[in-house]
Structure 1
Amino acid sequence: MNRQSEPRRKRTIPHGLGALLALSLILIAAPLAHGQTTRTGSSGQPIPRFVSLKSDRSNVRLGPSDRHEVAWTYVKSGLPIEITQEFENWRRVRDWEGKEGWLFHSLLSGRRTVLVTPWDASGENTPLYAKADVDSGIVAYLAPKVLANVKSCSKGWCRVEGRGYDGWIEQTRLFGVYPDEVID
């Protein structure tokens, strides 16, 4: 049989990989086509966005399915986490250390929380003020990695609360909110 008469073989992509590749191309092209810096995920929510962990045990996987290996497990509910991508019911997330992986959507909550200066290796405490003003008086000092609930954010300040404290902190000292994000 000569080369011209041989039937052509179709190239096949493993099941599921084709859809993942197509989704990746759409996610890359969508912001460019519309001139946007943020985009909307399959959930209808903006990407990127901050959420928190709902469960005390959350397995982070290497890919968007339960067939992918567990990379690590979070063992504290309420931790703030950033969603950077969505695929069906899976969310690609990034934590304060920059580690990324995939979580199933039901492990996440829309409740907004923050970590106070988790990147500060010096152990220096951060002042919590009575009002959104450095001259308003300090009501407490919060250690690095203290977990707090966000009540509101505006003009570079966030009102946070936790066990035994309630006050205002400079927004740049928090992981779990964007620098100029407004939260009512």
Structure 2
Amino acid sequence: MRAKRVIGLAVGIAMAASVGQAWAQARKAPYFASIGAGEARMRTGPGRNYPVDWLYVRSGLPVRVVETYPHWRKIEDPDGTIGWMQANLLSDTRTAMVRGGEIRTLVEEPRRGARVLWRVEPKVIGRISDCEDGWCRFDVRGRAGYIEVAHLWGVEAGEVVE
């Protein structure tokens, strides 16, 4: 009886993994993701035989996936650079980068005039959640508050992120 349970568990895990892979491959571009590896190479084409254009060493950097190919994603980084990256180097964790040349504020509530909690410099990366009505909750290593979507790269205006 124990052997049947172990085999059943293994089959269930394998089925869940292939369903997850099928979902990831079926996801329609464009969408936002983030770099999930400490080092990630951007290549000129969808394969290891293509030259490396960039080496990213900033885990969590938000990217826009603009095209999908089996095991590869064509991405755009916050500076507008476009190239190919292996899909397993990307994460579904939603992050964003503060854009512009000014220091921005993180506020207590998603509205103008709310109490200021933190200040963030341009190019700071944080996790986003609760995006709605032009605001996102932005968390930088446990220091969180709301910021206007217009000040972020990694989320579209009008997009709802839970």
Are 2:45 and 1:63 equivalent residues in the alignment?
Answer: yes
Match of 1:22 in 2: none
Distance in 2, matches of 1:50 and 1:175, equals: 10
Match of 1:166 in 2: 144
Match of 1:96 in 2: 78
Q: Could you tell me whether the CA contact under 8 Å between 1:83 and 1:93 is conserved in 2?
A: yes
Q: Could you tell me whether the CA contact under 8 Å between 1:42 and 1:87 is conserved in 2?
A: no
Match of 1:49 in 2: 31
Runs of 4+ in 1 over 3 A off after TM superposition: none
Normalising by structure 2, we get a TM-score of 0.83
Percent of aligned positions that are identical: 33
Task: Please identify which structure carries the higher helix content.
Answer: 2
Per-residue deviation at 1:164?
4.7
Match of 1:108 in 2: 90
Unaligned runs of 5+ in 2: 1-22
Which structure's CA Rg is the greater one?
A: 1
Are 2:101 and 1:131 equivalent residues in the alignment?
Answer: no
Distance in 2, matches of 1:58 and 1:164, equals: 25
Match of 2:69 in 1: 87
Distance in 2, matches of 1:72 and 1:172, equals: 27
Equivalent AA in structure 2 for residue 54 of structure 1: G
Distance in 2, matches of 1:127 and 1:42, equals: 35
Distance in 2, matches of 1:147 and 1:155, equals: 21
> Is the alpha carbon distance of 1:134 and 1:78 closer, same or farther for their aligned partners in structure 2, counting shifts above 3 Å?
same
Distance in 2, matches of 1:70 and 1:102, equals: 9
3-state SS of the aligned residue for 1:106?
Answer: helix
Distance in 1, matches of 2:58 and 2:64, equals: 16
Per-residue deviation at 1:64?
0.5
Per-residue deviation at 1:43?
1.0
Distance in 2, matches of 1:42 and 1:176, equals: 19
Match of 2:127 in 1: 149
RMSD, aligned CA? 1.4
Per-residue deviation at 1:151?
2.1
Number of aligned pairs?
Answer: 140
Unaligned runs of 5+ in 1: 1-40
Q: Could you tell me whether the CA contact under 8 Å between 1:53 and 1:80 is conserved in 2?
A: yes
Per-residue deviation at 1:165?
1.5
Q: Could you tell me whether the CA contact under 8 Å between 1:42 and 1:88 is conserved in 2?
A: no
Which structure has the higher relative contact order (CA within 8 Å, separation 6+)? 2
Are 2:160 and 1:182 equivalent residues in the alignment?
Answer: yes
Normalising by structure 1, we get a TM-score of 0.73
